[in-house]
Amino acid sequence: MKRKLVATAAILAATVFLAGNAKAKPVIGLDMTGSGGPYTYSDLWTNLTDTGLSSGYMTGLTIPPTPAYTTTFTYQARIGALTNGGSVVTPAGLNSSNQLTLTLAAPETVTAEGRYTDGLGRVHEFANFSSGPNPSALANVYADKSGAPANPNVVSGYTAGVNVLSAHVWNITSSFDEILTGSGAGTGTGSFSAAFLINTANSAYIDLSNFRNRLFDIESTGTTNIPSFYSPTTMWNGTPTSTGTKLKVDSSESFSAVPEPSTLLLTGSGLLGFAGYGFARRKKG
């Protein structure tokens, strides 16, 4: 259970990117034909399939005094729908004749970790994660017109096609608090704040003219409950899932404008309660 609760926290820590100062107007355009328009403008991409792999978290440590250490989060997703202002604007043929995928590999530093007993006698484990600007921690978006959709058991499909957008981690701060024993065991809450800074975009596929800057966010929820039909064995970059804990993730990429990089760290954070959803389902099963 310790391993799985940590995985839930880690995936949220790596993939929950909270928006600030959202604009009502469309902020990103997509042309799946690669013809440079007309573009479909949207403020949200919702993923159809997601897999996350958490590697390197060491449960039961006390930091400090134990030195901080690095964990790794690997992520792969296929985009299922596009919306704008709440209205579905998904381009025709998405996930039939063409597809969009997203991949990410990002290290995070565990800056604080420990356990405590609350007033009800329940043992908790907590951890804080952090990452500053990291040009090597890349999120990449691919447009593929081959008609062969990526899925958890066809891992090679996640990097097929044209790399239409590349971004790197600008900031990640996250934390979790998980109940290990007693009433509510396997439940927890976490707070997360982060953003990506776009490096490049292929204008034949992506229009960023409505961006005030080049930052975007991802909002996500995760569980440790992997359905039996969803059992990837390898991640997009060849990492075997046996090296960590894999998760099915429900997430979306929000392209609302966020503060300029110089003021990003002054913005607020969000609170996400994941309440041990995966653990509750597993117990019931």
CB 199 within 8 A of CB 21: no
User: What mean pLDDT comes out for the span 254-266?
Assistant: 51
pLDDT in tens, 267-285: 333 323 333 333 333 333 4
Residues 147, 76, 94, CA angle at the centre, nearest 5°? 30
Residue 8: pLDDT over 50: no
From the list 36, 31, 180, the residue with the least C-alpha distance to 91 is 31
Q: Contact, 164 vs 250, CB < 8 A?
A: no
How far apart CA 206 and CA 73 sit, in angstroms, is 26
Angle formed by the axes of helices 277-284 and 2-15, to 10°? 140
Mean pLDDT computed over 59-72 = 94
On average, the pLDDT of the chain sits at 75
Residue with tokens 């900031």: 171
- Residue 113 · residue 76 · CB < 8 Å: no
At 208, list the tokens.
């960023």
Q: How far is CA 284 from CA 276, 277, 281, in A?
A: 12, 11, 5
Domain count for the chain, please give it.
1
Q: Does the pLDDT value for residue 119 go beyond 90? A: yes
- Provide the domain limits for residue 28: 2-284
Tens of pLDDT, residue by residue over 161-215, are 999 999 998 887 777 777 899 998 866 666 666 678 889 999 999 998 877 667 6
pTM confidence score: 0.74
Residue 100, pLDDT > 60, answer: yes
Determine the number of helices (DSSP H) and then strands (DSSP E) in the chain. 2, 14
Distance CA 231, CA 53 (A): 12
What is the rounded CA–CA span in Å between residue 180 and residue 188?
9
Read off the pLDDT of each residue in 6-14 and give the average, rounded to a whole number: 38
Residue 232 has pLDDT above 70, yes or no: yes
R_g of the chain computed on alpha carbons = 19
Instruction: Please tell me the predicted confidence (pLDDT) of residue 7.
Output: 40
Q: Rounded to the nearest 5°, which phi and psi values hold at 281? A: -65, -40
